[in-house]
Amino acid sequence: MALDWISPADRVQALPPYVFARLDELKARAREQGLDLIDLGMGNPDGATPQPVIDAAARALQDPANHGYPPFEGTGNFRRAIAVWYERRYGVQLDSEGEALPLLGSKEGLTHLALAYLNPGDLVLVPNPAYPAHFRGPLIAGARVHSLMLSAANNWTIDLGAIPDEVAREAKVMYFNYPNNPTGATAPREFFEEVVAFARRHEILLVHDLCYAELAFDGYQPTSLLEIEGAKDIGVEFHTLSKTYNMAGWRVGFVVGNRHVIQGLRTLKTNLDYGIFAALQSAAETALQLPETYLENVQKRYSNRRDFLIAGLEKLGWKIPKPLATMYLWVPCPPGMGSTDFALTVLQNTGVVVTPGNAFGEGGEGFVRISLIAEIDRLQTALDRLENAGIRFE
């Protein structure tokens, strides 16, 4: 029985519907109708977590020392593994005692950072389109979001010169994400240098989401914000083990960078959670220590799928640039169709699930995001279904 005199707080009612929850409802209904779904909608990697990681978790489960509350700041071993990983990957030195904090997945940390650093009415800069946590976290905190509209004409990178001076002066925090979700865009090192200079000039806290750091192809190496001189003075960077290591359900991520910002987030989190189960942190250490051959196999798997799907879509009229990173294709809708209508048409007529681009903000209208999370044979089936249903780009 609903109680009409109890209603959610304004901060919840102000949130737009979360598209992935809505997609789950539509998928469940389609399955009830007997459709064989090919789900390319979520950023949920297919396949098993690497066996060494599973084995490490199993061993850690047997240790009673891991059965109590973990330290609020995460285990020392995991934090040291994070620091070693960053130095090996980017040449960035971190103090594991204060410049690295494990998280219950990066989404949790990105949202809680907004609560820790944004007051109601504060102005935050967020690209549009963007991963939903980048703008939903600030909205939950009661902040005002100024959208930095991205476009294909600018290769889906932020145009810092288009930000009005009065907006830049008032802004407190800026979220950004390269390699980018949802567009798959990458940004050159020069962009990171420019954004650090911009943030220092206007005293803006930079929040960079580097969750696709290792899903890079064709020799491309993503840039870490912390590689840029002075970035650690004004910024933090988030990472997750969900994508590279097929650990989406394990909920393990971390944030690194400015120790004072991290301490503020830690203070908030001590009032909300007890951190990651220590056995999972042991498993995460193992993931970060996997040999390069594991990473090379992951990259090859996604690049093969990327190439296969782009070639197949080209036969149906699409010409899609090859993204150098991430696990997504950013695909324009056929002329005259909006993102939601096209995604629903594809789902209802083919059983293939894609994500409407407007789920990532109005800047994503006119596109859908396709995740490379199925084997080649299933991608071929998806292409066959599109062709049989007469779905083309014309």
Q: For residue 45, is pLDDT > 90?
A: no
What pLDDT, in 10s, does the model give residues 287-316? 999 999 999 999 999 999 999 999 999 999
Q: For residue 263, is pLDDT > 70?
A: yes
Structure tokens at 356: 């409407």
Q: How confident is the model at residue 35 (pLDDT cuts 50, 70, 90)?
A: confident
* Nearest-angstrom CA–CA distance, 379 and 384: 9
Q: How confident is the model at residue 11 (pLDDT cuts 50, 70, 90)?
A: confident
Query: What pLDDT, on a 0 to 100 scale, did the predictor assign at position 284?
Result: 96
Query: What pLDDT, on a 0 to 100 scale, did the predictor assign at position 1?
Result: 52
Percent of the chain with pLDDT over 70: 98
Give the bridge partners for 103, in sequence order: 253
Query: What pLDDT, on a 0 to 100 scale, did the predictor assign at position 135?
Result: 93
Mean pLDDT of 38-45: 89
Q: For residue 23, is pLDDT > 80?
A: no
Ordered by start, the domain boundaries in the chain are 16-43+293-388, 51-288
Q: For residue 3, is pLDDT > 80?
A: no
Superfamily of segment(s) 16-43+293-388: Aspartate Aminotransferase, domain 1 (3.90.1150.10)
Query: What pLDDT, on a 0 to 100 scale, did the predictor assign at position 26?
Result: 73
What pLDDT, in 10s, does the model give residues 135-187? 999 999 999 999 999 999 999 999 999 999 999 999 999 999 999 999 999 99
Instruction: Give the residue among 212, 196, 202 at the shortest CA–CA distance from 171.
Output: 202
Mean pLDDT of 19-39: 76
Mean pLDDT of 347-359: 93
The class level of CATH for 51-288 reads alpha beta
Q: What is the mean pLDDT of the chain?
A: 93
Q: Under a CB-based contact definition with an 8 Å cutoff, are residues 94 and 86 in contact? A: yes
Give the bridge partners for 367, in sequence order: 332
DSSP H helical ranges for the chain: 10-13, 19-32, 51-61, 76-90, 106-117, 132-140, 165-170, 189-202, 231-234, 259-270, 278-288, 292-314, 339-350, 376-388
What pLDDT, in 10s, does the model give residues 215-257? 999 999 999 999 999 999 999 999 999 999 999 999 999 999 9
Whole-prediction pTM: 0.94
Query: What pLDDT, on a 0 to 100 scale, did the predictor assign at position 19?
Result: 66
Percent of the chain with pLDDT over 90: 87
Q: Under a CB-based contact definition with an 8 Å cutoff, are residues 38 and 389 in contact? A: no
Mean pLDDT of 44-55: 91
List all residues 6 or more positions away from 66 whose beta carbon is below 8 Å from its beta carbon. Answer: 60, 277, 278, 279, 282
